[in-house]
Structure 1
Amino acid sequence: MKYKVTLNGKTYEVEVVEDKAMLLAEYEAIAPQASPEVKAVAEAPAPSAPQNVKEASPASEASSDAVKAPIGGAVLSTIQEGSTVKSGDVVVIIEAMKMENEIVAPKAGTVTKIYVSKGSTVETGAPLFDIK
């Protein structure tokens, strides 16, 4: 089956051939040669550090039995210092790779210290909280 197709003001004769489950198009035309247009692009300014983002407290302030981050990411939420928790209660939520990771209390007790705050970023192994 033959068709005439006009594209950008130029008319092409196109033949469509049926072959098994595919349709193939054949046409006789010479595509116009065009050289790419190169434009100068201004260099993007270097990104500045995000404002109002508090980094986690240094590990030197953490106790030796502090619960540490199993994964790095952004802290979405924490509970309050002084909160009483049961084993398995969510204490901190860290977002990493668009997933929310719940960090739970390994034992029952009182959260005596929170080393991170909402909006801060943590690295793997950074102290998150203490429970006594």
Structure 2
Amino acid sequence: MKKYKINVNGQSYEVEVEEISGEITPIVSAPAPKASVPKAPAPKAAAPKAPVESTGGEEINAPMPGKILQLKVKEGDSVSEGDTLLILEAMKMENEIFANTSGKIKNINVSVNDMVDTGDVLIIIG
């Protein structure tokens, strides 16, 4: 008698087999059929953002990728250096974006809920 350990459908069994003849025939299990997975269409790339023309002011750029949660200013507002311009959410944290110079808001290139990438021009102060 020979003892074997076999695996059937994820269950292990120990079996004893009586040898009838001296010949041993190895038994190889057939590979499990591969499930056919339908291919999902590739996600569409986001439309490229239109380039922002410089209007001769100080550009306020996104320091990191994120989502615009709140705009604290509007075009035409006067701001001082250090004033909060907007709130940018990145990695579940709210980040205040400050004016790095005093002046008037010439252009706001984003809206609430917009997604931005690092370096995107958010606001121009003139």
User: Do these two structures clear the TM 0.5 threshold for a shared fold by scoring above it?
Assistant: yes
| Shift, 1:119, TM fit | 0.9
Work out the number of aligned pairs and report it.
Answer: 100
1:65 Cα deviation after fit: 3.5
Q: Match for 2:111: what amino acid? A: S
Aligned to 2:88: 94
Give me the CA root mean square deviation. Answer: 3.1
**Runs of at least 5 residues in structure 2 that lack an aligned partner in the other structure:** 1-8, 10-38
Query: How many Å separate the matches in 1 of 2:86 and 2:99?
Result: 9
Q: 2:60 aligns with which of 62, 67, 79?
A: 67
TM-score using structure 1 length = 0.55
Question: Which structure: larger Rg?
Answer: 2
Amino acid corresponding to residue 97 of structure 1 in structure 2:
M
Fraction of identical pairs, as percent:
41
**What TM-score, normalized by structure 2, do the two folds share?**
0.57
Distance 1:95-1:62 versus aligned 2 partners, 3 A rule = farther
Distance (Å, rounded) in 1 between the aligned partners of 2:56 and 2:82: 21
Q: Secondary structure at the match of 2:76?
A: coil
Cα drift, residue 67 of structure 1: 1.3
